Chain A
Amino acid sequence: MTDSTRVHYQEELQNLEARALEGLDMVAAQLDRAAEAGEHQDTELAELVVASDDVIDGRYLEIHQSILTLLATQAPVATDLRLISALLHLIKAIERMGDQCVNIGKLIPIAGHEPPADERIIKDIRTMGQQVRAQISQAKRAFETRDVEMARDLVHQDDLVDDLNKEIFRIALEIGDDHDRREWAMTMILVARAIERIGDNTVDIGEQVAFIVTGLFREFQDASHPGEPVPQP
């Protein structure tokens, strides 16, 4: 049992994984553009973010179809089967992350050209964006290297994002009586929420890394029972 077989199939599977993981690079680029558009109130760049989502959607459809073909023609089992299941989750997470970037892109023009901004919120959103950007890279590395510890660390990384999201909400509640300022703050809550969801998606991807490696699926954190320990594989 030394000769390698099914070489084309293995190449196809590796290529499929690489193409799916490239989707994370696309999301990172979209998040960068959305952050820059928000920073400079650049509505044209925001529109580009919205339009560019078609590329991510296209990648989702391409990977989805390739997975169906592999399932139908190659009958993958064992680690290959777990990888393919994980890739389905991964590409769906990427598609959702892309949609959150679109949401941010659509919110930027609503905030207005020279909004009555609160510096604390601007700063927190910037930090959230940078943190989630790093989480996207970490999720990709963990997936590529099948590093469960790196994947599990995404939970701790994401705690910072969750805290900032709550902080923005708190500041918005106390922002005062000015109508325009409150409206801007509400819009920023939605932007923060979109970034926070992208962070959650990176944790979901981390869970898929653990599934590929261990064969057992466990949520790193149980949202319906926060604070309770989750059994680990």
Chain B
Amino acid sequence: MTDEPRTERAATRLGSNHPSIALEADFEGRLSAGTKETVFALRDLSVHYAEKPAVKHVTMDIRRNEITALIGPSGCGKSTLIRCLNRMNDLIPSARVEGELLYHGEDLYGPKVDPVQVRKLIGMVFQKPNPFPKSIYDNIAFGPRTLGMKGDMDEIVERALRSAALWDEVKDRLGDNAYGMSGGQQQRLCIARCIAVEPDVILMDEPCSALDPISTGKIEDLMMDLKEDYSIVIVTHNMQQAARVSDRTAFLIVELTADETNRWGEIVEYDDTEKIFTNPSDQRTEDYVTGKVG
């Protein structure tokens, strides 16, 4: 990785001359110790699939070098929301995003922003590990090669695997097919693949739901290490996981129209994780995290 400030790098790589990003970069070194820089600023964000709402009126700031968890019952729009953060919803023709989503101060859905560039800066790890049917080495090298990244590829691969706490387990079999790895190793490989292209943010959509407790523990340890260098947003159904790893937690709820024909998610409470799990402000959060309602 370069020593270049991450915000500046993000601005440069997004291919934007937007003044707010430059401003952000200018101020980077002067942020006071107690101030957390905002990576994503969501303002009244709503997503519809065709005419059906999926999430509505989401307003929240996601901070840099923190783990932000999105929790809530099925159908509350957690996955829809996280997919907005790297424009994955663009791949669904009927999806429509309204409101404002600023990434380091720049409109992520602005007309000049290239979604492919966005996904390089804002990587995603999915519920099920999805390695390519290639060698471990080629899985990691694929992204940097495609992007034409400069530097020694062996070093890039090793650095990514080390960052994903996988190097010691695979260093002697880098040529083996990735499909031969365990589920937990495959998921860490996917994280390494994400890291290899030097992103700014890592999005994780239920990254441990297909893993056993040991592998889950390794991913959680890895997340704690990775937040030193990256900002992480995680969707999880496992509330204890949210409580264990995240700094801030957003709780979403399912809202229904009176005739129950439409349902969508809305944020009920967004606060420090400790607050959410020890003394939440909203009774609906209390009822959900204590398991009184599901």
Show the binding face of A for B, using Cβ within 8 Å.
1-6, 9-10, 75-82, 215
Q: Report Cα–Cα, A1/B268, bound state, in Å.
A: 13
User: With a CB–CB cut-off of 8 A, which chain A residues contact B292?
Assistant: 4-6, 10
Query: Is B182 part of the binding interface, using a Cβ–Cβ cutoff of 8 Å?
Result: no
Nearest-Cβ distance from residue B46 to partner chain A, whole angstroms: 21
Q: Report Cα–Cα, A215/B279, bound state, in Å.
A: 6
Query: Is B189 part of the binding interface, using a Cβ–Cβ cutoff of 8 Å?
Result: no
Q: Is there contact, CB below 8 Å, between B290 and A215?
A: no
Partner among B253, B254, B289 whose Cβ is within 8 Å of the Cβ of A77: B289
For B231-244 the 0/1 string (1 means CB < 8 A from A) is 00000000110010
Q: Is there contact, CB below 8 Å, between B278 and A82?
A: yes
Partner among B285, B288, B289, B293 whose Cβ is within 8 Å of the Cβ of A3: B293
A-B contact pairs, 13 of them (CB 8 A): A1-B254, A1-B293, A3-B293, A4-B292, A9-B291, A75-B240, A76-B290, A78-B280, A78-B285, A78-B289, A79-B286, A81-B278, A215-B279
Q: Is there contact, CB below 8 Å, between B291 and A1?
A: no
Best-buried of A1, A4, A76, A215 by chain B (most CB within 10 Å):
A1
Query: Is B284 part of the binding interface, using a Cβ–Cβ cutoff of 8 Å?
Result: yes
Looking across the interface, which residue of chain A has its beta carbon closest to that of B291?
Answer: A6
Q: Is there contact, CB below 8 Å, between A77 and B293?
A: no
Nearest-Cβ distance from residue B241 to partner chain A, whole angstroms: 11
- Knowing A1-B73, A3-B293, A215-B279 are in contact, say whether A77-B284 is a contact too (CB < 8 A): no
Show the binding face of B for A, using Cβ within 8 Å.
73, 239-240, 243, 253-254, 277-280, 284-294
- Knowing A78-B290, A79-B286 are in contact, say whether A1-B278 is a contact too (CB < 8 A): no
Q: Is there contact, CB below 8 Å, between B253 and A78?
A: no
User: With a CB–CB cut-off of 8 A, which chain A residues contact B240?
Assistant: 75
The 8 A-B residue pairs with the shortest CB-CB distance in the complex, in nearest-first order: A215-B279, A6-B291, A1-B293, A77-B277, A5-B294, A80-B290, A78-B286, A77-B289
User: With a CB–CB cut-off of 8 A, which chain B residues contact A78?
Assistant: 277-280, 285-286, 289-290
User: With a CB–CB cut-off of 8 A, which chain A residues contact B294?
Assistant: 1, 3, 5
Nearest-Cβ distance from residue B39 to partner chain A, whole angstroms: 27
Partner among A2, A9, A80, A81 whose Cβ is within 8 Å of the Cβ of B293: A2
Q: Is there contact, CB below 8 Å, between B293 and A79?
A: no
Q: Report Cα–Cα, A81/B294, bound state, in Å.
A: 18
Looking across the interface, which residue of chain B has its beta carbon closest to that of A74?
Answer: B291
User: With a CB–CB cut-off of 8 A, which chain B residues contact A3?
Assistant: 293-294
Nearest-Cβ distance from residue B160 to partner chain A, whole angstroms: 34
Best-buried of A75, A78, A82, A215 by chain B (most CB within 10 Å):
A78
Q: Is there contact, CB below 8 Å, between B277 and A1?
A: no
Partner among B73, B278, B285, B293 whose Cβ is within 8 Å of the Cβ of A215: B278
Q: Report Cα–Cα, A3/B292, bound state, in Å.
A: 8
Looking across the interface, which residue of chain A has its beta carbon closest to that of B284?
Answer: A1
User: With a CB–CB cut-off of 8 A, which chain A residues contact B286?
Assistant: 78-79
Q: Report Cα–Cα, A123/B132, bound state, in Å.
A: 87
- Knowing A82-B278, A215-B279 are in contact, say whether A77-B290 is a contact too (CB < 8 A): yes
User: With a CB–CB cut-off of 8 A, which chain A residues contact B288?
Assistant: 1
Nearest-Cβ distance from residue A59 to partner chain B, whole angstroms: 26
Q: Report Cα–Cα, A132/B262, bound state, in Å.
A: 59
Q: Report Cα–Cα, A5/B73, bound state, in Å.
A: 13
Q: Report Cα–Cα, A79/B286, bound state, in Å.
A: 7
Q: Is there contact, CB below 8 Å, between A4 and B293?
A: yes
- Knowing A75-B240, A82-B279, A215-B279 are in contact, say whether A5-B291 is a contact too (CB < 8 A): yes
Q: Is there contact, CB below 8 Å, between B278 and A5?
A: no
User: With a CB–CB cut-off of 8 A, which chain B residues contact A82?
Assistant: 278-279
Q: Report Cα–Cα, A82/B292, bound state, in Å.
A: 16
- Other than the known A6-B290, A77-B278, A77-B289, what 13 A-B pairs have Cβ atoms closer than 8 Å? A1-B293, A1-B294, A3-B293, A3-B294, A9-B291, A75-B240, A76-B290, A77-B243, A78-B277, A78-B278, A78-B290, A79-B286, A80-B290
